[in-house]
Amino acid sequence: MTMIRQATQQDMTAICRIDAIVLGNTSRSQELGESVAAGDCYVAYLDTDIIGFVVMNQSFFKQSFIQHLIVHPQYQNQGIGEDLMLHMEAVCTREKLFTSTNLSNKRMQRLCHKLYYVQSGIIDNLDPGDPEVIFCKQIRRRLPKTYPSKVQTI
């Protein structure tokens, strides 16, 4: 059974290994270490093996943003990414949760649609020829403001 918990410094080797397998290089190792240190990274694990991770922070216009969602190729298409996204929704303290993916990443787009994220825009010129698609999901409903009653009781 897959479990999810906040990442610790001891998880860094596994996190960076999985990221390098998926990304093809180790260019994000320092960034991932900073995310773990800040408490922004969560890992999915099976028995004692880390099989994926997610990073959520407040970097997107001070909104909650899922910056990275990475699952080891051996465990993809098994619901691990969905579990990680749902966990982030559960721990998100903001009203909205944003994420993004390249237009070419159809798998992530399908996951966003499955979880009822709505497309919220496209950013050109980040990756040449592959625009970034922004998604958003309303997590918590804004509570209506309460106003003092104008009726006086006697």
Q: What is the pLDDT, as a whole number, of residue 8?
A: 97
Taking the C-alpha atoms of residue 39 and residue 21, their distance in angstroms, rounded to an integer, is 23
Does position 146 have pLDDT exceeding 70, yes or no?
Answer: no
- Rg (alpha carbons) of the chain, rounded to whole number: 18
Classify residue 136 as exposed, middle or buried by CB count within 10 Å of its CB (0-12, 13-18, 19+). Answer: buried
Residue-wise pLDDT tens digits, 7-53? 999 999 999 999 999 999 999 999 999 999 999 999 999 999 999 99
The tokens 């099989």 sit on which residue? 51
Residue-wise pLDDT tens digits, 100-109? 999 999 999 9
Taking the C-alpha atoms of residue 49 and residue 71, their distance in angstroms, rounded to an integer, is 12
Taking the C-alpha atoms of residue 152 and residue 61, their distance in angstroms, rounded to an integer, is 43
Alpha-helical (H) ranges within 39-146 are 80-91, 106-114
What letter represents residue 42's amino acid?
Answer: Y
Who wins on pLDDT, 2 or 76?
A: 76
